[in-house]
Amino acid sequence: MAGDRTDEWSWIKDSSGWIPPVIDTSRPSVARMYDFYLGGKDHFAVDRDAAEQVMRGFPDVAEAARANREFLVRSVRAMAGDGIDQFLDLGTGIPTPPNTHEAARQIHPGASIAYVDNDPVVMVHNRALLASDDQTVTVMHDLRDPATVLADPMIRSVIDFGRPVGLLMIAVLHFVDVVSAPMITSRYYRELAPGSQVAISVGVRDGIDPEIVAAGEKVYAKSNAPAFLRSVVQVGELLDGVEPVAPGLEDIYRSDQVHIVGVRATRA
Ligand SMILES: C[S@@+](CC[C@H](N)C(=O)[O-])C[C@H]1O[C@@H](n2cnc3c(N)ncnc32)[C@H](O)[C@@H]1O
């Protein structure tokens, strides 16, 4: 069962009963900008303006977003093919089919999924999508607080950390500063049972003109989640505690303007 959803609003609370603020349409949201890149409908003028500014500087950002989404689906299918039937998806994003639960259930029809995001729009849309699904929960947390995420009773109502879990951090760790991120990822890894798997994708600065990097970071600095484009070497720091599986760290998308790398790894 999906936790103690005792009243009609409990879906939008975290486990402490906190109700998120009214949706902020005064500054761009990275979830809503990404939805715009992917051709979705869930964005406001402020998001479109910021996204169009990014697309003027980086005309292939939408193509890169689609390639990233394909990596997500590929990773979930590979994990499910290896027997994993429960997934913790951190930095979920606004629903875009096929979503994690849909990709997983093509292989394990009973798969359970905990979606975590800190954007209220993601909560609203996931709730609408998954209203009658007892094996899926969506909770609002900041993934930079792993202790709170991992203790959440709604997450624990669908994820058994004594069994292998598929942990997804797709296109979200570039919103976490370079120094803190490795401590955060390794805290999540420590919770995972042997046989668990992790998939990460992240935007990197390697091969991109520093002025282009700075221009992109400048637009995101005005959003709800400033971006930090790290180096490929720094991505390696996010893998402390897990073992990459072939082909290891790969380019998911690479052009003169956008470079996204991804990796799937196992918890021994
Ligand atoms: C670019 S989207 C990626 C969505 C999805 N993972 C994908 O790859 O298609 C990044 C998502 O991470 C969420 N996010 C950013 N910072 C976060 C944080 N500190 N905690 C939780 N979610 C966060 C955003 O709200 C957004 O929905």
Contact (Cβ atoms closer than 8 angstroms) between residue 223 and residue 28: yes
Query: Residue 5's pLDDT is what?
Result: 34
From the CA of 72, give the closest atom in ligand 1.
8
What is residue 230's DSSP assignment?
Answer: B
Q: Is the CB of 101 under 6 A from ligand 1?
A: no
Report pLDDT digits (tens) over 177-232: 999 999 999 999 999 999 999 999 999 999 999 998 999 999 999 999 999 999 99
**Rounded mean pLDDT of 27-51?**
95
Three-state SS string across 59-110, please? CCHHHHHHHHHHHHHHHHHHHHHCCCCEEEEECCCCCCCCCHHHHHHCCCCC
pLDDT tens digits, 48-99: 999 999 998 888 999 999 999 999 999 999 999 999 999 999 999 999 999 9
Residue 24's pLDDT is what?
85
**pLDDT of res. 202:** 98
Assess whether pLDDT exceeds 70 at residue 30. yes
Q: What is the CATH number of domain 10-266?
A: 3.40.50.150
Lowest mean pLDDT among 26-40, 59-73, 79-93, 120-134: 120-134
Whose tokens are 């091969």? That residue is 207
In whole angstroms, give the CA distance from residue 243 to residue 256.
Answer: 30
Q: Verify whether ligand 1 is closer than 6 Å to residue 225 (CB atom).
A: yes
Residue 90 Cα, ligand 1 centroid: separation in angstroms?
7
Residue ranges covered by each domain of the chain: 10-266
Measure the CA–CA gap between 32 and 117, rounded to whole angstroms.
12
Query: Global pTM?
Result: 0.93
| Closest ligand 1 atom to 96 CA | 9
pLDDT of residue 20: 54
Contact yes or no for 39/63 (Cβ under 8 A)? no
Quick one: how far is CA 220 from the chain centroid? 17
